[in-house]
Amino acid sequence: MGGASDERDVSLASGTQVAVALRTAGHQVVSVDTAQGIMTPEVEAALVSSGVGQLPPEAIALSTLQEEKIVELLRDPRLAPVDVFFLALHGGIGEDGTVQGILDTAGVSYTGSDQLGCSLAMDKVATKRVLREAGIPTPDWLTGSLSANEIELRLGLPVIVKAASGGSSLRLVLAHDSAELELALEESSTWADTVLYERYHTGREFTVGVVGDEAFPVGEIVPQHEIFDYECKYQAGMAQEIFPADISSGLAERLRALALEVHGALQLRDYSRVDFIVDEAGRPWCLEANALPGMTTNSLFPKGAAVAGIGFPELCDRIAKLARARSGDDST
């Protein structure tokens, strides 16, 4: 958990709550911050109650590259007995496939998608290309060096401007008119990432969790802001998260089926969360897939599991056992 991305706080919240849940399910757990090392029980206990701040943290200073730190941690004798690494990393190298590649090289078992699946889900341009090829509806998009006028002519307004590798709704702007689009282009020039321009569909936002080959009941997200931004995601009272969503059984089954299609098309494994907009004509559009969705007890993914009758400790245990089964021994 942890790491040095701008989603560090979210990752620490996920990781510490997963650790508690796994212990409840009977596992022995060592908590590791990939930026700062193995946690003491005191540090972990303090993090459990600290929550996620209103604003994302600044990237923390590191004495070594993250990859080198992780390789060093894997050599720590205190981690020698570990049979499964449960990944609760969000953003950066923890979610783009880099950590997964290191763990594959080390020959250890870990939860969630492998390097390929993570890289496809993390890069929103790659995601959309795979979805389009698979016939899964996703909003039209553009990338490259484009003027505001070109973007408006081809996608219309409003338009979403976002970082291709962003998460937690960071580096995301909804431009309503030409002036706002010009400002968004200026802001996005500082992001050091591929910028994605996406057609905006007015509608209702839904999310579907997937574990193994099972899609959870659909949830609806009703944010206080116009879009489901960082503050709405992580601050109490800033969004309604309705599980199960109050929609027809036909639409619910359509979204669940699409979530499984997305999970398969992006070559994800173990678990994921897939987000949709259903426009005013009732057409679903896949926005993105999350290879490592938030895993606090209040996150969207566990809420979907709860409606399916799966408590948080059982959910974490199930994910860990899916990883353990790949090593050829699912007895622990």
Question: If pLDDT is split at 50, 70 and 90, which confidence band does 62 have?
Answer: very low
Answer with the residue of higher pLDDT: 298 or 204.
204
* Domains recognised in the chain with CATH numbers: 8-112 (no CATH), 121-137+202-291 (3.30.470.20), 141-199 (3.30.1490.20)
Give residue 53's pLDDT: 54
Mean pLDDT value across the chain: 88
Please give the backbone phi and psi of residue 168, each rounded to the nearest 5 degrees, phi first: 55, 30
Give residue 135's pLDDT: 98
pLDDT in tens, 229-270: 545 555 556 568 999 999 999 999 999 999 999 999 999 999
- Assess whether pLDDT exceeds 80 at residue 332: no
pLDDT in tens, 64-98: 467 888 999 999 999 999 999 999 999 889 999 99
- Assess whether pLDDT exceeds 70 at residue 215: yes
Give residue 17's pLDDT: 94
Torsion angle defined by CA atoms of residues 36, 39, 43 and 45, in that order, rounded to the nearest 10 degrees: 140
Question: If pLDDT is split at 50, 70 and 90, which confidence band does 169 have?
Answer: very low
pTM assigned to the model: 0.89
Measured CA to CA, the distance from residue 237 to residue 235 in angstroms comes to 6
Report helix angle 8-24 to 312-326, nearest 10: 90
- The percentage of the chain sitting over the pLDDT mark of 70, rounded to a whole number, equals 86
Give residue 168's pLDDT: 44
Handedness of CA 89, 94, 97, 101 (dihedral sign): negative
SS percent in the chain: helix, strand, coil, step 5: 40, 20, 40
